[in-house]
């Protein structure tokens, strides 16, 4: 009986040791003293086996103390937008101010190279791009003689751009359908002729037009189409727009333009809504000189500007601004393409468009008769344009913006603002593969 009591006391003592070890600050010496106390307890039963007690105590002494669990700090995966912004910022940070400014221009290959008619891309094109790495090239009918010639020319140009700038360049064309086509009108290409947009009668037909054009533009190597025309034809005497327009109903124009653009997008071709804020009410031709409409802001908002108000939600890549004047909106005869009110306040502000804004061609009479290339380019950029299309003299146009930068008239942040939109669109062209290398 006494032996059982002793065993009970021994176990109770061990439990105390365990608890003390976990929650107290007991040492090895204290544990050993406790063991000695137990061994000195009067023994009445010689059969009592203390080996078990010793083993338990030794096991307790040698037991490894369990460290508290630790968890590694984890961070959420960056969003697609964060990755894209980092990619854009990295690209911009590696560019010189000269490279940045040249990216703002889209010119003809003749203006780039100084050659009278460009139908190939070789050392002259490459050397010109190294000196003046423009953001894009626009090709007109004389540059495009056959499918094979066009494919080879664009392929080499694209290769040079990647080699020099590490990203694609805009390879642009006016391929609307109807009377404004650089490719379909040429039998050498053997592509399907597209009807004038004024003859389109359904959303499905509009999509098919964009899809057909997108198919052969992709095959040839283009990545930007300056189409569709979204001018609402409100003046039947307007021969400049005429059957290039989808019609006189702004809602139908909006629906058809979206479908047409969806057809282009299906083939990786960037689309362009033109000519903001609407060329349909004018009579004169801005290719030849001054053109205007007396419509008010309210009148334009209720009609001509409705298709442009859908540009953001329809993911339209570019909006081209016309050279028409709106004296009852702007207050003078300033062309819309050079007007802060039209681009920053209305297109960017009221209509919330956040894609690329490109001017109509600066070599058109409405601009060239009144402004130098340097003056027009700077005014367009200050007004909020991102891309400047077809100045007659690239060096002069570049100098206009570079000089304003040097004098502090425009900031590098303003240049970077446009570059972010431009580079974002270029990432869209090739999914960023070139920029990620």
Query: Per the residue annotation, which of 174, 262, 317, 360 is the catalytic one?
Result: 360
In order of 135, 228, 345, 418, 419, the CA distances from 354 in angstroms are 19, 18, 12, 10, 13
Q: How many CB atoms within 10 Å of residue 24?
A: 11
CA distance 4 to 7: 5
Q: How many residues in the chain?
A: 437
Query: Strand, coil or helix: what is 237?
Result: coil
Instruction: Answer yes or no: 360 catalytic.
Output: yes
Query: Per the residue annotation, which of 287, 297, 416, 430 is the catalytic one?
Result: 287
Instruction: Answer yes or no: 332 catalytic.
Output: no
CA distance 142 to 108: 11
Q: DSSP code of 360?
A: P
Q: DSSP code of 437?
A: -
**DSSP symbols for 32-96:** HHHHHHHHTS--S-TT---HHHHHHHHHHHHPPPPPPP------PPPPHHHHHHHHHHHHHHT--
* Tokens of residue 236, six digits: 């039947």
- Which of the residues are catalytic? 287, 360
């Amino acid at each position: 009986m006494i032996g059982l009591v002793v065993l009970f006391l021994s176990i109770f003592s061990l439990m105390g040791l365990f608890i003390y070890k976990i929650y107290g600050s007991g040492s090895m010496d204290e544990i050993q003293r406790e063991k000695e106390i137990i061994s000195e307890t009067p023994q009445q039963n010689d059969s009592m086996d203390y080996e078990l007690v010793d083993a338990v105590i030794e096991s307790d002494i040698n037991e490894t103390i369990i460290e508290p669990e630790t968890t590694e700090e984890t961070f959420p995966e960056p969003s697609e937008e964060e990755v894209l912004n980092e990619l854009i910022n990295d690209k911009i940070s590696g560019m010189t101010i000269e490279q940045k400014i040249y990216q703002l221009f889209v010119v003809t290959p003749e203006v780039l190279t100084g050659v009278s008619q460009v139908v190939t891309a070789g050392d002259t094109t490459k050397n010109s791009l190294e000196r003046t790495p423009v953001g894009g090239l626009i090709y007109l009918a004389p540059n495009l003689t056959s499918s094979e010639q066009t494919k080879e020319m664009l392929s080499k140009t694209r290769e040079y751009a990647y080699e020099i700038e590490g990203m694609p360049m805009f390879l642009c064309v006016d391929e609307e359908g109807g009377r404004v086509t650089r490719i379909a009108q040429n039998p050498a290409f053997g592509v399907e002729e597209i009807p004038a947009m004024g003859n389109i009668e359904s959303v499905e037909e509009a999509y098919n037009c964009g899809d057909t054009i997108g198919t052969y533009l992709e095959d040839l190597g283009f990545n930007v189409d300056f189409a569709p025309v979204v001018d609402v034809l409100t003046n039947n005497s307007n021969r400049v727009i005429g059957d290039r327009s989808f019609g006189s109903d702004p809602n139908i124009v909006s629906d058809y333009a979206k479908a047409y653009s969806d057809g282009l997008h299906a083939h990786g071709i960037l689309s362009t809504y033109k000519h903001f804020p609407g060329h349909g009410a004018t009579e004169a031709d801005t290719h030849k000189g001054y053109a205007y409409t007396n419509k008010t802001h309210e009148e334009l908002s209720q009609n001509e500007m409705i298709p442009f108000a859908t540009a953001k939600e329809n993911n339209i890549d570019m909006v081209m601004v016309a050279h028409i004047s709106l004296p009852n909106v702007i207050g003078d005869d300033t062309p819309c393409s050079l007007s802060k009110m039209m681009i920053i306040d209305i297109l960017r502000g009221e209509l919330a468009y956040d894609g690329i804004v490109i001017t109509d061609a600066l070599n058109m009479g409405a601009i060239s008769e009144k402004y130098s290339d340097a003056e027009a380019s700077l005014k367009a950029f200050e007004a909020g344009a991102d891309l400047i299309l077809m100045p007659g003299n690239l060096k002069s146009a570049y100098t206009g913006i570079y000089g304003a930068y040097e004098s502090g008239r425009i900031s590098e942040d303003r240049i970077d603002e446009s570059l972010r939109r431009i580079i974002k669109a270029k990432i869209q062209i090739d999914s960023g593969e070139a920029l990620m290398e």
